[in-house]
Structure formats: C-alpha cells, structure tokens
Structure 1
Amino acid sequence: MSVKAFGQLTLVAAVSTFIVMEALSPPREPTVDAITTGSISATNPPPRARQDPIVVSQAMPEELPVETQLSAPAAAARRSTDSVDESALRYFARQGDTRRLDAEIARLKAIYPNWQPPSDPLAPEDYSDPELDRMWALFSDGRYADVRAAIADRRAKEPDWVAPDALVQLLDQADARIRLTNASDAKQWNAVVEIAAGTPSLLTCDYVDALWRVAEAFASTARIDRAEDVYTYILTNCENPNERVATVQKAVALLPQAEADKLFSFERGNEFQAARDDRIRQRVGKIAETEEGAADAADLTRLEALATTGSEAADPQVLGWYYYRREKPSIALEWFDKARARDPESAKSAEGYTLTLNDLERYAEAETIGYDWIESSEDNLAAYLGSVVGLLSIDPPVKVSESVLDRIVAVVVKARNPEAGEQLGWYAYNLNQTRTAERWFATVLKWAPDYEPAAFGLATTLLALKDKAGANEIIRAWSDRSERIANILKPVKADLRGPRYVVDAPTYDREGEVVAAPVRRSTAPAPVKSTASARCGGSGPVNTLSPAAALPRGWCLMDLNRPVEAAAAFEIALRSSDAGTRSDAAYGASLANLRSGVTDKAAVAAAAAPQTEKQRTELTVSILTQQALAMYGEGRYNETILALDARNQYAQEQNDLLVLRGFAYLNLRRYADAKRIFQAAAGTGSPDAIRGLAEVQAAQNGLR
C-alpha cells in the first residue's frame, strides 16, 4: 500500500469522528484546535457558517489537554510504535481478507502515525499460537460472544496471558457497531449519535452502513445540515461504486430536495442515474397523491420508460394513481393492470384498478375484482362498495346473479354502508319487490338516521305499499329537512311520461326466493356511481372545504347524481373572491337545485353571480320548466300556461310539455285549445296526448 493511500486512510479515520461531535455538545465559544473545528477533509467544499462550534464531547472544560481530544494527531504521534499489535493484521492477511486487512492498517495508522505496515504481512512469525488463531477465526465469523468466552477461558487457565490489544479493540468496535445498528433499527436516534461519537473507528469508509445510520439519525432529528455533512463525507472519501450510489439514494429519500440535489455535484460520470430516477419517482409520486397540479413532462416520460422496462410494480402503480386522479381512467387502467401483473399481492394496485373500472362504468368487472380485496384495507372496501353502488344503480337494471347478490348483501350488511344499502333498496323496488325495498330503506335509516336518500326511499315504498300512515310519519319527520320528501305526494314530471319499459331480469327477495316473471319498472332511483370516499377528493365534510376546493367537489357530486350535497358545495364556492369561480358556482348551484326540485333556490342561485348568455338561457329554460310542472301539480293551471309561454321565448316546447299545456287547458275548460294541442302531440304517437283527446271528447259530451 502506497504512502499516499496510507495518508488518505489516516485522514478518514482521524476526522470522521467530527461528523457527530457538534450535535452532542451545547454551544460555546470555540477554544479547540484547528483540526477539531476544521472541515471534513481538505478536498471538501468550504464549511458552512455555524452558530455553534464542533466540540468533542458534552460538558467539556474550557481548556483540555491535547491528549483528551479524539484522534488528535499530536497525541497519536507521541505514541510508541514499539508495541504495535500486528496480530490481527497478519491473521487477516493469512485468511486473504483484504477488506479487513486494509481496515486494520488504517486503524493502526490512525493510532500510530509513525508506524509502517510490514512489507510482507504473510512472512512467518517468530511464534505460533493456534488457540489465538482460533479466536481470530471466531471473530472473522462474527461470533463475538464466543471470542470473549474463549478469552475468559484462556485467562482462567493462563492467568499471565493477555489478549492482544487489536483483538480487544476490534471486539469493542464490533460490539459498538451492533449496538449502533440495534439503536438505529429501534429509531433511537440520540443513542445512535452517542454510540458513533464514542466509537470513532466506526466512522470510516470501511463501515459505510454505520455512517448511513448516523446520517439517518441526524435527518430524523431535524439536523439536516449534519446529515448532509455525513453524506458529503462519504461521497468525498469513499470509493466503492455501489456504496456511493446507495448513499445518494438514501439522501434523496431523507433530505429536502435542495440539500439532496447538492450531492449530485460529486457524481463521477453517470454513476448516480439510479438516484436521479429515484428523485423523479419521488416528484411524480408526490403529485400523484392529490388531484392538484401536473408532473413535468420529462419526468413522466422517464418514469413511463422505467415502468415499461422494469420488473417492479411500484412505477406503474404510481403512474396509475397519477392518471386516475387526473380523470384519465383508460390510461390509468393500463398502468394498474401492469402493476397487478408484476405484484398480484398488491392491495393498493387492486384498489386503483377497481376505482378505475368504476370510473369507466365497468361495474360488474369492478365488483368481481374488488370483492377479493375487501378485507385488505378500508380503501379497498370503499372501492368495492363504489362498484356495488354503480352496479345496482344502472338504469335499466342489469341482471345480477344470485351468488353475486348474496355476497353483495353480506358485505353491505357487515360494512353498514348507507349508499350501498340504499341502492339495494332501489334495486328491489325497481324489480317490484316493494316489501324487500321497504326493509332495506328502514335498515339503512337505522345505520344512518340522518341519511335523507334512505328516508325518501322509505317514504316512496310505504306509499307504494299503501301505508299512508307510515309515509306521513316520514314526511312529518323530514319535511323541514328535505323538500322532495315534503312534496312527495304532489304530482311530478314522471307522471306525464309515456309507458313504462320492461326489464328482462330475474328478481329475488331477501330470503332468496326467485320470481321468474319479468317485471315493469316504476320510478327510477337517483343513481350513485361511486362512494364519496372513492371519488370527489375524499369523504371530508363539505363545510370544511375552501371555495377553490368546493367547486370541483360540487361538479363531481353532480356527476354522481348527488345534487343536495353538490348544492352545498357550490354555495361554499360562491364565497370565492374569484369572479370566474363565483360564476361557475352559481351555475352549478342552480343546476343542483333544479335537479333536486328546489326551483326557488335555483332561481336565487342563478342571480348570485353573472352568467354567460348560454348559461342564462339554459337555466331560465330549466327554471321555467320546473315552475310549470310545480304550478300544474298544485292545480294552478293559468300560472302553468304563463310559465310555459315564458319558456317558449327561450326554447321550443317539447312534446311532454305540449301535453302538459293541453291538460292545463282541459282543466280550465278551454276545450278547443286543449283539443288543438292534443291533436298536434298525438301525431307523434304520444299515448298521453291520445288519452287527452279522449278526455276532451268526454268533457264535451258531458261525461267528464
């Protein structure tokens, strides 16, 4: 080994201890010598300015003998080289253990700077000691407790025998390394730093793992600058290519981006490409956790290349979540599919795959995939329940096998999920299983007493069962909280529609009895395509959102056909200071209230902020349509016609509204007008118009 190499090893062993010294001591004025307060090595960047000096130990007196300063060269230089214990060096040489041999030479040079290693460590020694060789063999195997036992046994047999200093010191060092590792694994960060400070021989390139653990201890205790110092020390002094790359990768994971990026300046060639890729994964992964922002195009391109050519599931999974949260489900599905193929046991990939199928409205597939993962996590269960809600709310109902219905019922009952329970109620109702539907809605209200959709469903089924007393009880309890429940006994627009369609599907009651005959569907449920936790940014209360966050939540809830909740979100968005946000919020609030049948609130919301011409026209037409229907339902036929006349100024009267006008004329005994309208509508094949013509004829003949 060259003199230059020995000098470098000496520097490594002597100054590595100072990495940890600053963190162990309280601030005081610098009174120690230059090597104690200097930089890590002569080739390092200049040290940053610090408020507290790097001192050797806690509670240090103002003046210290030079000998008490760790690794001080002056003290080491005065040590005699006559008694250097070379037994470890010669043993490692005989074993061909060059790594331990180099480490031992560096250790001895740090202690005895004037010592020179033997030119031939393999040269025969003047004596042989088989029992000592056995101790060294045990040490090489990592059997440190057995070494200490062997030393104790020999001392008992030979009281005058003294174990070599090298063996004792290396045993102490090994014990310290084990204690440091255990403290690090237990996240006892202060203990890690204290052990490292007490064992400076560990803080060399021969024990990079110990240095990594010290850096992690600093980073985990908010001493980022000291962690950066450790990583800088390694990259400046250590040569092992794999350890250098691993050092940067660990720094990227633990340090803030600015500090981690500095370390790339130590790169030799392109050795840190793997760490640079980790930084890209970190950046894209952070953005993928939310719906806000967009990743850099170059980062996406690189990550997609890594995800395509790699064998791990992590990269395609990150891309799946990134595209899912940016409403690109087709792309997201491809990446989740790739992630699942690489790691079939990944619950997170299964969750993303299920949610993406829900977004694509492929609910039957999503239910099948998601069911296998319902026990994995709350998120997986929520994704599955979103599939259930979507599957059961398809209009017209799809055929669901008995086995699938059985497992859906079992999961919903166990989870006590209101949205899924509600849809089971509507599914039964729309297949004419009214009694089963009533039980489902009543059950959901037990799970969630304030869940309005279940109360509405229960009132609807009680009316269908001709239980007016029960329905009136629900109406009284909810009339001040739900306008649609309060108005449930009034005629609605659906009463004027054409004939019901037939659904060719088997039906089941809750006891599993099959009704083979096809059934006719009546009032359609309000479909909900996925649970709030699976979409719309989580399940947090709407009233906790900022105006900026409330606007997209409102539109998302509209997509899920949840207008009551959407209206609440839009009302919060109306508080925004941004004119564009307020305009969009006013438009959304109007649509939400119209969909809920709350016409008055829709009109108020429409006037809350300026609208585009197109939006004003659309809202005016919708509001006037709702008003006409409401007036007719209340028997205010003149006002119905006035509302329809006003609507005609903005849009052509559609066929069902023509029929509504005809019945308004009929009830006002304006038979000629009614006949004219019904004849026009009957020409399109409208059965309601044909019925209207018959009623006009009967009225004119005195039969009505």
Structure 2
Amino acid sequence: MRRLRQSVAALLAASCLAAPLPVCAGQVSLADFAAPVTEKPAAPFVPVTATGPDEVDLAALYYYADQGQEERVQAELARLQLKFPGFEPPKNLYMPAARRSMNEQPLWALYEKSDFSSIEAEIARLQAANPGWSPSEDFSGKLARRKIRVQMTAAVAARDWAGVIAAGEAIDPAGEAEIDLLWMLVDAYHETGMREQMAEVCKAILFRQGEARFPDDLLAVTLQKAAQDFSAEEIDAVIKALWPQPARVAALAPVTDALLRRRVADFTANDALTAPLPEADLQRLAAQSDTAGDDILFGWYFLKVKQLPSAEQAFGKAMERAPGAEAAKGLYLSLSRQGRDADAYRWAAGHLDLFAGEPELLMAALAPRLSKPELGALEPQAIAAYSAAIGETQSADHAEILGWYAYNSKQFAAAEAWFAKAFEWQEKPERLKGLALSYLRENRKKDFAALRSRYGERYPDLWAEIASAPPPRGLSGATVGKPAAGDASGYAAALRDKRYDACIRELQRQEDRGGLSAEASLARGWCFMGLNRSSDARVAFNAALAGRGVTRQDAAYGLALAALRDKLTDQAEAALSATPLSAVRDREIRAEIYWQRARAAFDIGQYEQALAALNARMQLVPEPTDMSKLRAWAHQKLGHKAEAKAIFERLSMHLSDRAVAQGLTAVEQSQR
C-alpha cells in the first residue's frame, strides 16, 4: 500500500498538473488555451474542406488553353482568382488533352488496396509511355493522405510510437478533419512522455470554433485521453470552457466517471488528503462498477479511510473477477489490519505467487507465524518464498527471524548460516548470540572460541546470557535452506543474473534510504534496458552521467542506446557530444543513428537525405544487403536509373530476394 502511494505520488510530483490551476509558469496546461464560454449551442460538425473551382468552372480555362488563346487564358485565370482567392493555375493546363484525360482507373484500383509500390511502378510506366503526363492533383493528394494513414496505423499496431510521430509530421492538427489520426498522435505522445506536444494536439481538437468544431462525443473521447496526463482540475476547467451546462451533455458521462476514478486514486495516493470523498459520488461510481480495476480502486480507498470490512469485500470481488497481485495484497492488508492474523497468514501462504513482486509485504505476512511455531509447522513453500525474499531484500531483521525459527526447530546448520548473514548485513547483539548458540549446539568449540575472542570486548555482557541460555524447544518445523551461495542478493548480483525486476526493486529501496550513487543509477539504467523500458532507462542513464571516468562513459553509451531504441536519433547524438566514447562504441552508435535517419527519410519520400545518411554510415562500417536495397530504391525514386540498376544487379548475383527482383523490373520498365 505504501509503495502504491509512493509511486503515484511520485508521478504527480513530476508534473505541474498536480498543482491547482493556474499551473506554474512555463509549464504546459490544457486550461491555458480554453476558449471563452459562450451560450451559443455547438454547431454540428462539418469537416473542413478546401474550396475551389470544379470541372465546370475550369472548362473554359482548359478550352482556351487547348485553342492556344493565351489572352483569354489569362483573363479566365484572373476571373477564377477573383472568385476563388488563392487559386493557382492547374499544372496540367497546357498538357495535350489526350494525356490530360489519361484513364487513372488502374491507379485507383491499386489505391484501394494500398499497394503503394505497384502504384509507383504503374505511374512510372504511364509516364514512360506518355511523356509529360503526371497523375491528377486529386489522385496525388489522396495518395499522400492514404500513405500517412497506412503508415500511422501500422506503427500503432506495432506500438512503434516514434514511427507514429514521424508519419504524422505532415499533419496539421489545427485543420485535420480525420480525428482518429489526431488520436493516434495523442496516444504516441502519451506513450513517449511528450506532454507538451500532446497538449498541442489536444488543444487543436478541443478548441475549434464554429463549423470546424468536432461533435461532443469526439471531444469527450479526447478529454478521456487527456485525463491520462492532466489533472482532474484541468480537465474540469476545459469542460467548463467548452460547455456552459456540462451536466446536460450526455457524451460527458464517461469523462465525468473517469475523473471521479482519478480523484479516488489521487486521494488514496496522497497522504495529505484526509477528507473522505462525497458518498453520493462513490455510490454512483460503485453502481456502475463492473471491473476488477474498479474493485481494487475502491479497496485501496476503503483501506485508507479505515472501512476495513468494505475493503476486504472490494478486494475479494476483484480476486473473483481477475485474480492478481494488487487484489491479493489488498485483501491481505484488509485481513491483517482487522487483527485476523491467522486468516491473513493463510491467505498470503496460499497465494505466494501473487506476492512475488512485493518481497517486503511477503516477509511481513509470513514472519508473525515463524515467530509462533507452536501453532504448527509452516508449509515448505512458504519457508522457501520467505528465504528468497530475504536474500532479495538483504533484510537483516527477517534473516534473524528465520535464524531463530531454524534454531528452535534444531536445524543448527541453517540457523548458523542465517544468523551469520543477518550479522553481516547489520550487527546486533541478538544476531551474534544466535550465531554463538548455533556453534555450541553443533559442538563447534573452536568456532565459538574464535567468535568470543573477536567480539568479546565489544559485547562483554552477551556471553553470560549465552552460557545460561535454555536449550531450543525442538518444535517441528519446515526444512530451512541456507542462504544462496555467493549471496545472490543485491542489485549487482541481480543485474548479473538478469533478474531485472529484483534489481529495480533493490535500487528503489536504496534510493528510499538516501539516494543512489552514479554507479547505482548506471545499473538501474541497464536493468530498465533489460525490461525493455527504454524511457525509464534514459532517465537513469542521465542521472549516471554525474559520475566520472568509466561510469560516465558507460552512462553516455547506455543513454545513446536507449534513445536509439526509441528512434530518438537527436538525443543519441547529443549523448555522444556530451561524453566522448571509445572508437568502437562511437562507431557503433553513429552507424545506427545514420541508419535510422536513412529509413525515416526514405519513408517520408526524402530520398536525397536517405542517400546522404547511408553515405555517412558507409564511411564508418560496411553496408549490409538490406541497406544496399534501400540505397538502390532511393536512387530509383530519384530517377537515377543507372545507379539503381547497378546496385540491384549486384545484389541479384548473390541474393534471391523479391524486393531486388521488383527493383530490377522497375528500373528496366522505366528505361524502355
């Protein structure tokens, strides 16, 4: 529970959105851009479309151009520009009528299939057969739009958020009529932590005026997305700005419920909030609650306000709907705080797998029973889980508890090992006493004498207690194993053994106790990389840059790798500039930077830039075949037929590849 509060509180503390409006200066806010409240009803949604002359309006212009009557062409152009401000002469105005009326139906058929490579091949074929012809503006414009949609949709499906952002660069949020494309950008900015950019897109959706305004239900969905990153107070301010009487807007009901859930979670996570929420709001939310997530939300709320039976009921419902670690922990705490220790122990011991990620809570749940062996033998799996949690957390207190459990059940070798480990982690006389008693019960007189010789002066009163200590009770107990050889605890060992979750938990405990060194922050970065949490890794590596020498160089290297994993090539390059790396590492990072830039430039049709990036990369390392294929296609797109053909022919000599064969065919067709 405490860790849940700390994690949510830390999240809010990292954002100015945790502050009441107006937000702190210089930080992004949705409410800052709220439109003035108006009593006029919202206009129906009409997509924004460009206005211009239709075929009838243009008929005379084309006729005069076909007849070569240039004076009348200019007069007609002047008339159209007066009628349609901003109108520009059509690019195909002086094209022969036969070529101008080229049948584009094959192109449209390929367009419906989103077969872009075939479209490009067909355009090249038609242009070769009809010099001077180019696709109509209608087709070219719609093709560009279709490419954007396909690229963004594919990137969303792959959770390639950097790819979504790159594909959406051509979109103008202020005028974009297809709101689902804007939502893709909102999701991508949310996932990559780019809150300012996310706010800009949300503002562009929410605060349109007149006929450009989106319908209420679409605005409500946008607000639900914004609520992931902005406070309930800010969302409320936006609602009041958009709707004079929000209670009458049916589409806002899901937003209102989402904000209420947010307030419940914020109340639970913030120790400074003590006043319970309005009962009417809680009852309304409870009436429609039908998910384990809502049950868990209520469970933590009831725990905080000390309505323990209600908390037990809520967590119990969550376990019935979707058993999980959060519900299991909450139910244990509900039982424990009601003083039902036996029930709490049975619950924890029966769900050890769900407590695996919370070693402190697991130890707290099992320890009371270890101290009362007269209640019966513990389950072997409970002892094994307790031992593992001790090793993971380096808890001297719990190592001592396990030592006494082993001692009282006459498992003296195990007792000796756990007392020794507890004393190693934190010296206390009781732990030394347990170790000494274990030596005596094992009849290891030399070891006992050496222990007394070493610590006799430091703990002079302890040895009389040891001499008069009663023998162990000899109660039956589960078998206790010794600590893992070599001490598999600590973040360094966890990182070495690729136990990345354990590594992160240990480092968090160290940070809670007083901060992390640059070396520890570096280890945290590598553990986050092992968990594919590259955004968190960048934060950790940035902190590790405060170190010196090898630590700083390793941190810069890790930061560059994490940035490249998220396709943030500028950040990777900045990391190289901040701290020089070894020649091998520098070459590795720069090669990947150039490759990512080449791919990004190619995908948006900037073929010259793609070739420039590939050329820069080739100066560093040899070029593999997949990059040579991209190079050949870039030349083909630019009309460099000889260069493209030479590369495709070279690749075809030792590679059987469909893309290479298609490239050769495209080059040969364009040369006919």
TM-score range (shorter-chain normalised) is 0.3 to 0.5
Q: Of Structure 1 and Structure 2, which has the larger fraction of its residues in helix?
A: 2
Higher relative contact order (CA 8 A, sep 6+): 2
TM-score by length of 1: 0.46
Q: Which has the larger radius of gyration?
A: 1
Using the size of structure 2 for normalisation, the TM-score is 0.48
